[in-house]
Structure 1
Amino acid sequence: MTRTAPRRLGLLGGITWHSSLEFERMLNEGVNAALGGSSAADLLVRSYNFQQIADAQAAGDWDGLGSTFAADARQLQAAGAEAILICANTMHKVAPAVADAIDVPLIHMLDATADAIVAAGLDTVALLGTGYTMRDPFYRDHMAARGITTIVPDEPVLAEVHDLIYDSLARGVVPDGAREWIRGVYDNLRARGAQGVISGCTEIPMVLTAADVDEPYFDSMGLHVEAALEFALRD
């Protein structure tokens, strides 16, 4: 049964403001579609200065980022959030610190994505995201625990995908030819055995969408929103 008013959600970032807007838009549209009238999502949003986040990531200060996100999650909970979302794939590297800091559920983006891959009956998928997401074991280990193998580009292409995200997409810029190029990157991963693709960065849909691929496309942001809406609206 659907509630008459949504539960309050606490959002940690976007982490860029471009994807923050998309998260909020989809959550608001989802609540309105379910409840009608002038209904909208009940959100508490901690929007970050992405330059500070990117600098800390580049410096390898994941402990510091984890402490910051954990403290912010506690503040959102104190303000009435009934669940927390980390609105970025890469920052799920600090999800354990956030989960340990709060007493409400952490709606996990990687769980929502893995659920969809398992439901589709696939076990090997391409992963496109930041260099941290593609190189670091936190993402592939989370998927492996669900029986899912992730395939990422080889260097130097992996680094070029990362640079596309940080130097252009995170600033709202889609370079000429970027869509065709990223499709070629995916085609190579498909040739290596990928049965589908994870849009493993909230900026990837700016250059690659489900309409661009013939295989299943797992939009981590959209799947995360669906999981959040299910929580916010269930009785």
Structure 2
Amino acid sequence: MQTIGLVGGMSWESSAVYYRDLNLGVSDRLGGLSSPKLVLSTVDFAELSALEDEERWQQIGELLADAARGVERAGADFLLLCTTTFHRVADQVEAAVDIPLLHLADVVAEEVLSHGVDRVGFIGTSVAMSDGFFADRLARHGLEAVVPDARHHAALNSAIYDELVHGRVVDATRARVLGVIDELWDEGVGGVLLGCTELELLIKQADCELPVYPCTTLHVAAALDRALAE
């Protein structure tokens, strides 16, 4: 079994989901007392959020690269960033270590395309939706990402940062997000990406007729495939 390296803390709710689901996944696959080999480094989300507000992405990349180097020194065989938004600096992080980075967008694109879908809705933080770094990475695989109308971005960002990262799951917020997903469906997408770990706390497939692709769940499954490959 390979050792999975995690850079988390963005938010701790997201890191907890990764840790839990990796453990549950190994237990399901191997049974008994089996659990994954993990190295986890978490950063101060308040510090990174302040830098994000100031668009100081170079410094964010340096902080995450330093965390990744620590994970590598601790014995990780490959690396995951437990976040979507901060994949904006994934190339900088990847360049700082000698172990592979399992990029979230690559994993998601492979899964969505395997279902015959080539146009998908993408909801996440304002940065992830408006910056284009994640959609551009998906496009390398031939997958088109459609983001919600800009008038929804502030409300979606607020749902993530003001509620979900604090573990608050609000029914009224769920209804608003499902309304946004319906608009994307009207635009002809074949599914929707939950492009933020915390959104998986709010939206389930049972809530939505459109196929839902939970990015974190897919990331975890790909990490387990890699770690347990013979």
Which TM-score applies when normalising by structure 1? 0.94
Contact 2:78–2:102 (Cα < 8 Å) also in 1: yes
Give 5+ residue unaligned stretches, structure 1.
1-5
Contact 2:41–2:70 (Cα < 8 Å) also in 1: no
* Runs of 4+ in structure 1 over 6 Å off: none
Shift of 1:175: 2.8
Once the two structures are superposed, the pairs formed by residues 13-52 of structure 1 within 5 Å of their partners are: 13-52=8-47
Shift of 1:147: 1.4
Aligned twin of 1:63: 58
Aligned twin of 1:125: 120
Give 5+ residue unaligned stretches, structure 2.
none
Aligned twin of 1:53: 48
How far apart are the structure 2 equivalents of 1:217 and 1:176?
A: 18
Aligned twin of 1:143: 138
Contact 1:14–1:23 (Cα < 8 Å) also in 2: no
Contact 2:13–2:167 (Cα < 8 Å) also in 1: yes
Shift of 1:82: 0.5
Residues 137-188 of structure 1: per-residue CA shift (max 9 Å, x gap): 2111111111111111112211211111111111111234111111111001
Once the two structures are superposed, the pairs formed by residues 95-110 of structure 1 within 5 Å of their partners are: 95-110=90-105
How far apart are the structure 2 equivalents of 1:53 and 1:16?
A: 10
Aligned twin of 1:164: 159
1:196 aligns with 2:199: no
How far apart are the structure 2 equivalents of 1:47 and 1:14?
A: 4
Residues 79-136 of structure 1: per-residue CA shift (max 9 Å, x gap): 1011110011111111101111111111111111000111011111110100010001
How far apart are the structure 2 equivalents of 1:70 and 1:93?
A: 12
Provide the alpha-carbon RMSD of the alignment: 1.1
How far apart are the structure 2 equivalents of 1:68 and 1:206?
A: 27
How far apart are the structure 2 equivalents of 1:185 and 1:137?
A: 19
Which TM-score applies when normalising by structure 2? 0.96
Shift of 1:215: 2.4
Aligned twin of 2:107: 112
Shift of 1:18: 1.0
Calculate percent identity across the aligned residue pairs.
37
How far apart are the structure 2 equivalents of 1:175 and 1:25?
A: 22
How far apart are the structure 1 equivalents of 2:2 and 2:9?
A: 20
SS at match of 2:150: coil
How far apart are the structure 2 equivalents of 1:234 and 1:96?
A: 25
For 2:2, the aligned partner's letter is R
Aligned twin of 2:223: 228
The one of 52, 70, 74 aligned to 2:69 = 74
How far apart are the structure 2 equivalents of 1:33 and 1:155?
A: 41
SS at match of 2:83: coil
